[in-house]
Structure 1
Amino acid sequence: MTQSGRSEENKNLSQEKVQVPEIVTKLKVLEQLQIDEYRLTFKSIVNDGRCPEKVTCVWPGEANVMLEIFDGTDTTSKTIAIPALGFHRELFSTSEHVVYLKNLTPYPITAKDNIKAYQLLLKIQPKKS
């Protein structure tokens, strides 16, 4: 390879867009998270109907979780269905942040899995000015 060939190769590499990693916050069952004037509590797993990785299913399924959101005045309980592949759903917005629900981990591997250490994956993003 010539010197000019290397320069051309390096030039192409530097033009690729860098993917910024997404930072997520993990919240365990019965844990609370204070976000500005709000408090989010992961109350429980209502059910986990996601199709395990080692099982063939006609539908990927979903898991239902119970959340409690306290806004400083009132408490709201929500049951939210999380698709098997996750999503990017806005839960609530504070004066300074937007809170998104991304997914539920861990994902079941077999039909006999008895998962005890569930965690919600949240993205807490600053509001744009």
Structure 2
Amino acid sequence: MKKALFLLIVLCTTIVFSQDQPVEVPKIVVKVPMGETVQFQKASVNFIKVLEDSRCPTDVTCVWAGQVKILVEVKEKGKAAVQKEILFKGSVDTTLVASEGYKLKGVSLSPYPTSETQGKLDYVLLVSED
């Protein structure tokens, strides 16, 4: 009886303390293929082209990780379209639109190059809406 009571107390304690940890909400991203425009809640994003892709291929050891620079056109509702160069390198800010509690941010550019990748890739910009 003492063992059952002890196990019940341990079980209840575990359940109570396990719920103190916050749950991280997954970030939902939208794919914007190169050459296409995607409409968001308060803006549209047109992924025009890749200006530079010097990222180190995934199956190669490099001294420098590299970077990728893209050109996008962002049009907020009620405003003129603006072309922006976005740089994906380390912790550089990749915000596309930021206004009144609304934010569009470039998350990443896919696919990541490999040593066997040759020629043009079918690039896709991943954008999150906050």
Q: TM-score range by the shorter chain?
A: 0.7 to 0.9
- 1:54-73 superposed matches below 5 A: 54-71=59-76, 72=78
Where structure 2 has 5 or more consecutive residues not aligned to the other structure, the ranges are: 1-5
Question: Aligned AA for 2:117?
Answer: D
State the alpha-carbon separation in 2 of the partners of residues 25 and 106 from structure 1. Answer: 15
TM-score after normalising by structure 2:
0.78
Q: Identify the residue that residue 76 of structure 1 maps to in structure 2.
A: 82
Rounded Cα–Cα distance in structure 2 between residues aligned with 1:95 and 1:11: 38
* Runs of 4+ residues over 4 Å off in structure 1: 85-88
Equivalenced residue count is 123
What is the rounded CA distance, in whole Å, between the counterparts of 1:13 and 1:2 in structure 2? 16
Unaligned 5+ segments in structure 1 are none
Specify whether residues 104 and 87 from structure 1 end up closer, same or farther in structure 2 by C-alpha distance, changes over 3 A only.
farther
User: Conserved in 2, the CA contact under 8 Å of 1:87 and 1:102?
Assistant: no
What one-letter code is carried by the residue in structure 2 that aligns with 1:35?
F
Query: 1:28-78: per-residue Cα shift (whole Å, max 9, x none)?
Result: 001102235643210111221111221111111111111112345533222
Deviation at 1:111, TM superposition (A): 2.0
Normalising by structure 1, what TM-score?
A: 0.78
Q: Distance in 2 between matches of 1:19 and 1:39?
A: 27
Alignment partner of 1:113 is 2:122: no
Matched residue type, 1:53: T
Bigger Rg, which one:
2
Q: CA RMSD in A?
A: 2.4
Q: Which amino acid in the other structure matches residue 68 of structure 2?
A: A
Counterpart of 2:15 in 1: which secondary structure?
helix
Query: What is the percentage of aligned positions where both structures have the same residue?
Result: 26
